[in-house]
Amino acid sequence: MHQHIAKKTFRTYLGRFMQWILGGWSIKGQRPEPDKYVVVVAHHTSNWDFFIALSAKFILELRTCFFGKHTLFIGPFGWIMRILGGIPIKRSGSKNRVDQIIKAIRESDQFILALTPEGTRSKVKKWKTGFYYIAHGAGVPIIPAALDFKNKEFVIGQPFFTTGNISEDMKALHRFFAPYQPKYPELSCQGELEEFINK
| pLDDT single digits (tens) 56-70 | 999 999 988 776 667
What is the C-alpha separation between 49 and 182, in angstroms, rounded? 9
pLDDT of amino acid 104 = 87
CA nearest neighbour of 27 among 157, 131, 142: 157
Tell me the pTM. 0.82
Torsion of CA 190, 147, 22, 116, to 10 degrees: -80
pLDDT by residue (tens digit) across 108-164? Answer: 899 999 999 987 788 888 899 999 999 999 999 999 999 999 999 999 999 999 999
pLDDT of amino acid 51 = 93
Report the DSSP beta bridge partners of residue 67.
87
